[in-house]
């Protein structure tokens, strides 16, 4: 395809998620290219522009939107500025892929929804796990009722983010930084110390699985949550969060998020779904490693050998979630249908979907702070004025 025929994409925010996720996915698709980037951080701008040979490089996104002839925008800036970036991009009539978390307040979340409606533009929210073939396969199995009644869903997602301000690890981090490798920047640890982020790793990653539960065909009815802050001197938010949700089908959903599990920084991500006829299990690789999920099913005939039967094995980098999400987005922009093994009906997360995931995330924090259970009936009443963008130890 000639360069002149390709979709011209502008990036607002050119940090790690763009370097390892969106940038490679756009390049691999072949029908689009990164025409311009904007990021207030010169390190991000220079690194991305050099790696992907981007000509249009800007500090301010408004200058990029004004001067560049773009076909679409990918927003991967911090969540507290998403609303402003969506509003400015929508005003230019550009389709948008916006990263999650959607925002840090309900007000900004509503602003994103209204911007899409006001300017009649397409907004795909970056709940990329919907495009992971493993979750798609689980959804199919659940729709086929292979497990019968679902009793419990358990997700365990752990990272290791140690205290790098002291001790031998701190000394190593300082030496690496002197030689040009900033551990906080490279692994994205900076967001866990910035009060504008709205919360710790739970705020950043819980929206993935709250959304996946709905993708599986269930709704959340109630939440109860506990959190623990392990390093109050260096981090303003929780290091551990365990939330328990009641679901519309009567099942219990346990979500355990932890960043103090000693081990490889890329961590551990496992899930289990238990039903009356058997169970499903999945193992997910870290998104930045671009490895697909493994899915196994275990039913009564599996008991003698005590082994899972494979329901899906990963294959190919281009079949992982970032690449499939970008292909879906470019299809929408170009009005094409190239993505194979698609989901029937609505697939990509809408701003309304993302708004609900943010609401349940905020409700989890409110539950932890006040020691209460929050139900769907009183969800927005409980969290309308609830703010998390300040240090908290709930």
Give the tokens for residue 277.
């006829």
pLDDT of residue 185: 78
Residue matched to tokens 């110390």: 193
Q: Is the backbone peptide bond immediately before 101 cis, with ω within 30 degrees of 0?
A: yes
Q: Is the pLDDT of residue 55 over 90?
A: yes
User: Under a CB-based contact definition with an 8 Å cutoff, are residues 1 and 30 in contact?
Assistant: yes
pLDDT of residue 18: 93
b vs e for 49-83, b when ≥16 Cβ sit within 10 Å of the residue's Cβ? beebebebbbeebeebbeebebbbbbbbbbbbbbb
Question: Whole-number mean pLDDT of the chain?
Answer: 94
Please, what is the Cα angle at 153 between 151 and 156, to 5 degrees?
A: 150
Contacts of 250 (CB under 8 A, 6+ apart): 149, 150
Q: Cα-atom radius of gyration of the chain, to the nearest Å?
A: 21
Q: Other C-beta atoms within 10 Å of 201: how many?
A: 25
Q: Is the pLDDT of residue 345 over 90?
A: no
CATH of 132-320+333-383, one of 3.40.50.11540, 3.30.460.10, 3.30.360.10, 1.10.3720.10: 3.30.360.10
Residue 180 main-chain phi, psi, to 5 deg: 95, 5
Q: What is the DSSP string of 130-198?
A: GG-HHHHHHHHHHHTTTT-SEEEEEEEEE-B----SSHHHHHHHHHHHHTT--HHHHHTGGGGS-GGG-
pLDDT of residue 386: 93
User: Under a CB-based contact definition with an 8 Å cutoff, are residues 374 and 382 in contact?
Assistant: yes
Lowest mean pLDDT across 89-103, 292-306, 334-348:
334-348
Task: Say if residue 101 is exposed, middle or buried (CB neighbours under 10 Å; 0-12, 13-18, 19+).
Answer: buried
Query: What is the Cα–Cα distance from 26 to 21, expressed in whole angstroms?
Result: 9
Q: Other C-beta atoms within 10 Å of 118: how many?
A: 11
pLDDT of residue 222: 98
pLDDT tens digits, one per residue of 217-275: 999 999 999 999 999 988 999 999 999 999 999 999 999 999 999 988 778 999 999 99
pLDDT tens digits, one per residue of 112-163: 999 999 999 999 999 999 999 999 999 999 999 999 999 999 999 999 988 8
What average pLDDT does this structure show over 351-361? 98
Residue 47 CA: distances (Å) to CA of 19, 42, 86: 8, 8, 24
Query: What is the Cα–Cα distance from 175 to 196, expressed in whole angstroms?
Result: 28
CATH of 3-126, one of 1.10.620.20, 3.40.50.2300, 3.40.50.1950, 3.40.50.720: 3.40.50.720
Query: What is the Cα–Cα distance from 157 to 299, expressed in whole angstroms?
Result: 25
Q: Where are the domains of the chain?
A: 3-126, 132-320+333-383
Q: Other C-beta atoms within 10 Å of 44: how many?
A: 20
What average pLDDT does this structure show over 326-342? 93
């Amino acid at each position: 395809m000639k360069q002149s025929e390709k979709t011209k994409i502008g990036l607002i925010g050119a940090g790690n998620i763009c370097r390892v996720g969106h940038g490679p996915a756009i390049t691999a698709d072949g029908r689009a290219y990164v025409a311009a980037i904007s990021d207030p951080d010169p390190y991000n701008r220079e690194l991305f522009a050099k790696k992907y040979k981007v000509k249009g490089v800007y500090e301010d996104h408004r200058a990029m939107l004004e001067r560049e002839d773009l076909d679409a925008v990918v927003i991967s800036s911090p969540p507290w500025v998403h609303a402003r970036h969506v509003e400015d991009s929508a005003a230019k009539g550009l389709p948008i892929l916006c990263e999650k978390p959607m925002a840090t307040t309900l007000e900004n979340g509503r602003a994103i929804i209204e911007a899409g409606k006001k300017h009649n533009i397409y907004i795909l929210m970056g709940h990329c796990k919907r495009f992971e073939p493993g979750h798609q396969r689980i959804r199919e199995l659940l729709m086929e009722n292979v497990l019968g009644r679902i009793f419990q869903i358990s997700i365990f997602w752990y990272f290791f983010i140690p205290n790098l301000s002291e001790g031998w690890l701190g000394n190593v981090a300082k030496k690496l930084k002197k030689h040009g490798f900033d551990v906080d920047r490279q692994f994205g640890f900076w967001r866990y110390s910035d009060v504008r982020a709205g919360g710790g790793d739970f705020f950043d990653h819980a929206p993935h699985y709250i959304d996946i539960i709905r993708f599986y065909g269930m709704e959340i009815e109630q939440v109860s949550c506990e959190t623990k802050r392990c390093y109050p001197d260096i981090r303003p938010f929780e290091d551990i969060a365990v939330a328990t949700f009641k679901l519309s089908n009567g099942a219990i959903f346990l979500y355990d998020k932890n960043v103090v599990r000693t081990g490889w920084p890329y961590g551990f991500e496992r899930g289990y779904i238990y039903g009356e006829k058997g169970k499903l299990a999945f193992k997910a690789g870290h998104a930045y490693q671009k490895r697909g999920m493994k899915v196994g099913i275990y039913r009564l005939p599996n008991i003698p050998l005590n082994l899972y039967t494979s329901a899906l094995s990963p294959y190919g980098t281009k079949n992982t979630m970032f690449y499939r999400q970008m292909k879906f987005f470019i299809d929408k922009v170009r009005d094409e249908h190239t993505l194979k093994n698609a989901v029937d009906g609505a697939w990509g997360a809408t701003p309304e979907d993302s708004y609900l995931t943010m609401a349940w995330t905020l409700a989890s924090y409110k539950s932890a702070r006040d020691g209460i259970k929050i139900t769907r009936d009183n969800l927005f009443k409980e969290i309308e004025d609830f703010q998390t963008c300040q240090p908290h130890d709930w």
